[in-house]
Amino acid sequence: MNTLKWVRGVNGTLGWIAPQRVANKMRQAFMTPRTLPLRDWELPLLASSERITLRFGLSALRWGQGPAVLLMHGWEGRPTQFAALITALVEAGYTVVALDGPAHGRSPGREANVVLFARAMLEAAAELPPLQAVIGHSMGGASAMLAVQLGLRTETLVSIAAPARILGVLRGFARYVGMPPRARSAFIRQVEQDVGMRAATLDVAHYQLDMPGLIVHAEDDNFVSVKESQLIHESWFDSRLLRLESGGHQRVLADPRVVDGVLSLLAGRSLQARQSA
């Protein structure tokens, strides 16, 4: 019997008898990231980076000289997954700062969630020059959009393979691990208590996104449905939607069309600023 089948079996039985206990166990699993090994292609970029420590112990990698761009990886991700994008941004004359999210890499913490990621971005931005762009992948994209609601200022914003609704993510995880209805409800309540926000409010339909943006999603993403990108686009009046036929959840980060889209967004904003000066 594989591990997932065993977990589902235990949750499906114990979840009826002790829903709070099962919910707490799954909450811990949901919020505790694993440390996954780097791929060989990430090593040269890591070697060329400067490791910096920000306020409250947040760790980040920095490359280049010029206007600042802030990057946030996704769940169990890392800065070097943005390798193609970082290389292009540095060549275009930008400083790139890529965070290790809370409980990831060298940043402190044992558990993480979308709100902690968003607050980490706010803390980082307070120590950086004015941001020309914030770019987030997966949970990092959801966190970037939330961070803007919490006061993060940026000229442009890029969301890559991000969910539009955190409540949908929680429900999807609860179903995936086989929690019955009572345990599922207890799980969501416990997560809400931990993050300090109602899950239903963490939805782009309630957000104010008033900067130019780019939304990227691959049609074959098996982790976050491409339908989420349309919901984000409909809630963000000044956004461009780039839907790719392939790229999955991770490979999309290296797609040349994504790199070109980000550079075009930044170039357009820079031109607009010069014309209005």
- Using DSSP, state whether 50 is helix, strand or coil: strand
Of 175, 170, 161, residue with least CA distance to 227: 161
pLDDT value, residue 212: 97
Q: pTM for this one?
A: 0.94
pLDDT value, residue 269: 66
- Residues written for the chain: 277
Amino acid at 10: V
pLDDT value, residue 277: 46
pLDDT value, residue 55: 81
- Per-residue pLDDT tens listing for the chain (277 residues): 578 888 888 888 888 999 999 999 999 999 999 999 999 999 999 999 999 999 889 999 999 999 999 999 999 999 999 999 999 999 999 999 999 999 999 999 999 999 999 999 999 999 999 999 999 999 999 999 999 999 999 999 999 999 999 999 999 999 999 999 999 999 999 999 999 999 999 999 999 999 999 999 999 999 999 999 999 999 999 999 999 999 999 999 999 999 999 999 999 865 555 454 4
Q: Which part of the chain has CATH 3.40.50.1820?
A: 53-163+203-268
pLDDT value, residue 137: 98
Residues near 21 by beta carbon (within 8 Å), at least 6 away in sequence: 14
Q: What is the 3-state secondary structure (H, E, C) of 239-277?
A: EEEEEECCCCCCHHHHCHHHHHHHHHHHHHHHHHHHHHC
Q: Dump the DSSP string for 191-250.
A: HHHHHTS-GGGSBGGG----S-EEEEEETT-SSS-THHHHHHHHH-TTEEEEEESS-TTT
User: How many other CB atoms are there within 10 angstroms of residue 53's CB atom?
Assistant: 11
- Alpha-carbon distance of 27 to 25, in angstroms, equals 5
- Alpha-carbon distance of 188 to 82, in angstroms, equals 31
Q: Tell me the two tokens of residue 150.
A: 């919490």
- To the question of domain 53-163+203-268 being in CATH 3.10.300.10, the answer is no
